[in-house]
Amino acid sequence: MNTRYETVIGLETHIELKTETKAFCSCSAVYGDEPNTHCCPVCTGMPGALPVLNAKAVELAVKAGLLLHCRVSLWSKMDRKNYYYPDLPKAYQISQYDRPLCTGGWLDIPSGEGTKRIRIERIHLEEDAGKLLHTENGTLLDLNRCGVPLIEIVTMPDFRGPEEVTAYLRELRERIRFAGISDCRMNEGSLRCDVNLSIRPVGEKHLGERAEIKNLNSFQFAAKAIAYEAERQAAVLDAGGVLFPETRGFNESTGTTFSMRRKESQSDYHFFPEPDLPPIVLTQETVERWKSELPEPPSSRRERWQERWSLARETAEALTVSREAADSFERAAGMTRYPKQLAVLLAADPARLETERIPVSDKHLAALADLLGSGAVGNAAAKELLERLWQEDADPVEMAERLGLGKITDRAALEELAREVIGSCARMAQDYRAGKTAALQALIGQMMRRTQGRADPELSREILLNLLKSQ
Amino acid sequence: MRNGEKWTVQTLARALRGGKCSARELTLACLKRIEACEPEVHAFLTVTREKALTAADRIDARLAAGEELPLLAGIPMAIKDNICTKGVRTTCASRMLENFIPPYDADAAERLHQAGAVLLGKLNMDEFAMGSDTGTSAFGPTANPLDVSRVPGGSSGGSAAAVAAGEAVFALGSDTGGSVRQPAALCGVVGLRPTYGRISRYGLTGFAPSLDQIGLVTRDVPDCAAVLAAVAGFDPRDATSSRVPVDDYLTGIGEGVRGMRAALVRESLEESSPGVRRELLRAAARLETLGARVDELSLPFLRDMLPAYHILSSAEASSNLARFDGIRYGFSATDAADWQERIRESRSRGFGREVKRRILLGTFVLTKEQYGPCYEKARRLKGKTLASLRTALSYYDFLLLPTSPEVAWKREEKRDPVAMYRSDLFVVPASIAGLPALSVPFGMDQGLPVGMQLVGRAFGEKELFRAAHALEEGKA
């Protein structure tokens, strides 16, 4: 990027809320079914059909606001945003204009060594439109997404580059998902963003003319679009050209942005209060209750765990992949003397934590951690026990006994095994005696292999050393 | 069949249960009356003869089996064509919805169906309920059955004409800015606009949702009470429908007005024709004779209500009607070159002049430039109206004023739209305030009926019925 200019960016992020039904009717809001299987007179805008606001959508929108430290309006209303497009059967979108549900929040994002605070201007509730599918035989319309509740989160122009935007989106997505507000699946369009970008000479206070880049549906595209657009604007100014406010699109295959329309010719949406819906009135008690239901954000949990139990960052991240996983781990961790061992054990399969709920009771998880931590079972045995517990939630102590997964600590048995190992791996023994100390580790490994990992490693080591010295 | 006009829900319900007639006979009598009157009156857009007879036979069978049925069972009625009826064409008297057959019933239609009322068909109206003389219907005007050279009023002109002509025992209409009360007055029948939220709007094609209410046209006040009891009530499908319990409107309807306080609206005296003014004063005197107290009260903002009404209703209409694009139903300009032109042409040719006028007006008042000076100002006025009417009604039981400044006029007398808008002067305040208002026939002028309007407290329909019934009983 040209160093003479500073890039100034604000974001508008659209997030589909995770409600069972649509915003204004009882159609299912599920993603990915056959086209036009989830629509009714209300969401297809048939004459006489009326919207009724989904209370869950209001709750989730307010919770998103609380997560982002916003003020919640106890009185807000829905408005009509009037525009015609074939994917909008009522010819207006029910949205919020001058009284959004949430205003004035912030989100801290990691930036360099420290953190940076991004200010949130507002969060409002609205409905999604349908989807146009352009085919060779004409354009088809799928109304399954039409009327699905969305929130739009608008930031102040606080970003200075693509890294900050990506960091913000990551932090936002993680928090929203963790709180069960949305799945934030960019490939399904349940999280998408518009970037407002302008540049100005370094040191300049006034903002330049901004371009709005619409509908970016991956973090990578957002970063690419920002990098390209900042360069493009700099090139225009450097060539003595003039920038004007405009709406631009992003071409995913070329990684470039292109002009869609100038802002001044942009339509007037004729906003007015939605007469079919009464105002949204909330009590402070309701808002407080919703606040109390919100989970501690994953980033703060990770910090706490890393500090207290010195977990590795990756381990902590794997455990905060979902609220269920984090809660489950945290409860079990409180019941064992070996929380770190439990964390490492659970985090060994991060993919599974992402897709499945932990089916093991807290008590049994804690008992497993105790077995491992106290040395009663080895790592391999602990892993096997966890696999078995995943299939059937049972007492791991009994299970270890039943399956003979406990550590072998019988000195005589281990001595016999060690003799066998030295006998069959004479080369390794020779190497050790010749001064290659690493060979001892290989011999211990042999003992482990022959006992499926159950041989007590400390005892095995001692016995091997004695035998090697005495022979 | 002039005696048909005396048939009321109450007497017919008794006759049905006493075995004096069958639901089929009643339905046939209405169908015969429709056949006789329609060439001149044209109150109906669709007559559902076979469905009506099947429904009537079902009621007869249930009555014969000794079943206890609701009061409205077997009573023939008709519904304005902007209220959705499952499987029955619902056109809003517009080319734009000429072939629209709703897959659902409006809540009010469903409740009538549940109560066993027999649907005879769908009634003519001004296109999308925009008009005051049922002259903007795309399918031709309705005439006043009392004098077919005159208008029946509007927009529910078909509803009022059908009941006045004896084609139906009662009818559903819709009242956005007087559309039930004004035609009821001009046709000499009873018209009620209930409190906003009393009857669900689910299935009523929206004109201006913040003002729209389904209303009733009946032959007398007790019928109105009986029908309201059947169609009113909370509906989870309409977020503006009310949870206030539905009263037993018929009980005590004959108790009279002794001790009630009425406010005669002074400005309505000045704005009425001499004949209507005379009847208004006579109605006030009658109420006093019957034991009510009548004071004069000034509502100085009355004249401002009309522009405020047109701004608010047109703004909402411009948004509500934007969905009719000629692609999904109704008239479509199939000769257009591309889809944008098809929408433009469909709307240009599919909507009538009055509808287009209101869409343009509404679009204008919602522009960024006009929102403040027009739309917002009108909303403030709405707030003021509500507050001052509430204050007045905290003391008075009801306001008294004529429904229409004049009796039914000849169609060619009013061609200027603004003159037409002015005929709604007295009906618009209750609409804007969302208050219940009832028009009851009282007296005649130039041989034509005059309607008196009573405006009551929110959800005070029971008191309105009592007072209106007293006026009705006491009339000469």
Instruction: Compute the average pLDDT of residues A423-429.
Output: 86
Domain assignment of residue A102, yes or no: yes
The pLDDT of residue B388 is 92
Residues of B in contact with A86 (CB under 8 A): 327, 339
Q: Which residue range forms the structural domain that includes residue A427?
A: 411-470
CA distance A79 to chain B (A): 12
Res. B177: pLDDT tops 50: yes
Average pLDDT of the segment spanning A65-90: 96
- Number of domains observed in the structure of chain A: 3
Q: How close, in Å, is residue A89 to chain B by CA atoms?
A: 6
Q: Which residues of A touch B238 (CB under 8 A)?
A: 50, 52
A423 shares a domain with A390: no
- Regarding whether A329 and A249 lie in a shared domain, the answer is no
A159 and A55 housed in the same domain: yes
Same domain, yes or no: A172 and A54:
yes
Is-catalytic flag, B80?
A: yes
What mean pLDDT, rounded, does chain B reach?
Answer: 95
Flag whether pLDDT at B408 surpasses 80.
yes
Nearest-CA distance A281 → chain B (Å)? 13
Residue of A nearest to B106 (CA): A48
Question: Which of the four pLDDT bands, split at 50, 70 and 90, describes residue B1?
Answer: very low
A278 at interface of B, judged by CB pairs closer than 8 A: yes
Identify the active-site residue in B137, B155, B268, B439: B155
**Lowest model confidence (mean pLDDT) among A204-208, A290-294, B31-35, B159-163:** A204-208
* CATH number for the domain harbouring residue A445: 1.10.10.410
pLDDT tens digit string along A237-276? 999 999 999 999 999 999 999 999 887 656 689 999 999 9
Nearest to B363 among A52, A270, A271 (CB): A270
At B176, is the secondary structure helix, strand, or coil?
coil
Q: Within an 8 Å CB–CB cutoff, is residue A85 touching chain B?
A: no
**pLDDT score of B176:** 98
Q: Are residues A312 and A430 in the same domain?
A: no
Mean pLDDT confidence for B224-250: 98
A48 and B103 within 8 Å at the Cβ level: the answer is no
Q: Are residues A370 and A392 in the same domain?
A: yes
pLDDT per residue as tens digits for the range B267-298: 999 999 999 999 999 999 999 999 999 999 99
The confidence score (pLDDT) of residue A438 equals 84
Where does a domain end: A285, A319, A344?
A285
Mean pLDDT of chain A: 92
B314 labelled catalytic: no
pLDDT of residue A432: 86
**A354 and A432 within one domain:** no
Q: Is residue A448 part of a domain?
A: yes
pLDDT of residue A471: 64
| CB nearest to A90's CB, from B323, B343, B363 | B323
What is the rounded (10 degree) CA torsion for B409, B411, B412, B414? Answer: 60
Predicted pLDDT of residue A264: 64
Q: How many domains does chain B contain in total?
A: 1
Interface test with B, best of A42, A46, A79 (most B CBs within 10 A): A46
Task: Categorize the per-residue pLDDT at A414 as very low, low, confident or very high, splitting at 50, 70 and 90.
Answer: confident
- Domain annotation covers residue A290: no
| pLDDT at residue A344 greater than cutoff 60 | yes
Percent of chain B with pLDDT over 70: 98
On the question of pLDDT at B149 being above 90, the answer is yes
- The pLDDT confidence band at residue A1, using thresholds 50, 70 and 90, is low
Question: Distance, in angstroms, between B233 CA and closest chain A CA?
Answer: 16
* Digit-coded pLDDT (tens) for A210-219: 999 999 989 9
Cβ-contact B87, B128 below 8 angstroms: no
Q: What mean pLDDT comes out for the span A94-123? A: 95
Residue B155: active-site member:
yes
pLDDT at B55 over 90: yes
| CA distance to B95, B266, B393, B401, B403, per residue, from B269 (Å) | 40, 6, 20, 8, 12
Q: Are A115 and A109 in contact (CB under 8 A)?
A: yes
In the predicted model, is pLDDT for residue B4 greater than 60?
no
Residue A158 lies in a domain: yes
Host domain of residue B247: 1-476
Residue pLDDT, tens place only, A171-189: 999 999 999 999 998 888 8
Cβ contact B117:B77 at 8 Å? yes
Task: For residue A193, give Cα distances in angstroms to A153, A173, A177.
Answer: 9, 12, 16
Could you read off the pLDDT of B178-201 as tens digits, one per residue?
999 999 999 999 999 999 999 999
CB contact (8 A) between residue B239 and residue A277: yes
How many CB atoms are closer than 10 A to CB A233? 24
Distance from the B321 Cα atom to the nearest Cα atom in chain A, whole angstroms: 9
Q: Of the candidates A403, A428, A444, which is a domain's last residue? A: A403
Q: With beta carbons less than 8 A apart as the criterion, state whether A301 and A106 touch.
A: no
Average pLDDT over residues B155-182: 98
Residues in A closer than 8 angstroms to B83, CB to CB, are 48
**Residues 6 or more apart whose Cβ sits within 8 Å of residue A363:** A332, A335
Does B102 sit within 8 Å of A46, measured CB to CB? yes
Q: Are residues A356 and A233 in the same domain?
A: no
CA–CA gap between residue A240 and residue A245 (Å, rounded): 17
Find the mean pLDDT for residues B339-363.
95
The verdict on A398 and A433 lying in the same domain is no
Same domain, residue pair A383 and A445: no
Domain of B47, CATH number, reads 3.90.1300.10
**Residue B5 pLDDT exceeds 50:** no
Which residues in chain A are contacts of B366 at CB distance < 8 A?
Answer: 82, 270-272
Q: Where are the beta strands (DSSP E) in B71-123?
A: 76-80, 118-123
Q: Tell me the residues of B at the A interface, defined by beta carbons under 8 Å apart.
A: 82-84, 90, 92, 97, 100, 102-104, 106, 201-206, 208-210, 236-240, 315-316, 318-319, 322-323, 325, 327-328, 339, 343, 363, 366-368, 371, 375
Residue B337: count of CB within 10 angstroms of its CB: 8
- Whether chain B has a CB inside 8 Å of the CB on A133: the answer is no
Residue identified by tokens 């929102």 is B371
Q: Where does the pLDDT of residue B475 fall: very low under 50, low under 70, confident under 90, or very high at 90 and above?
A: very low
Same-domain pairing of A257 and A132: yes
- Please name the amino acid found at residue A384: E
Chain-chain contact of B239 with A268 (C-beta, under 8 angstroms)? no
**Domain match, A398 and A422 both:** no
Query: How far apart are alpha carbons B276 and B289 in whole angstroms?
Result: 20
User: Residue type for B104, please?
Assistant: Y
Final residue of a structural domain among A382, A403, A424 = A403
Least confident of A345-354, A426-435, B140-149: A426-435
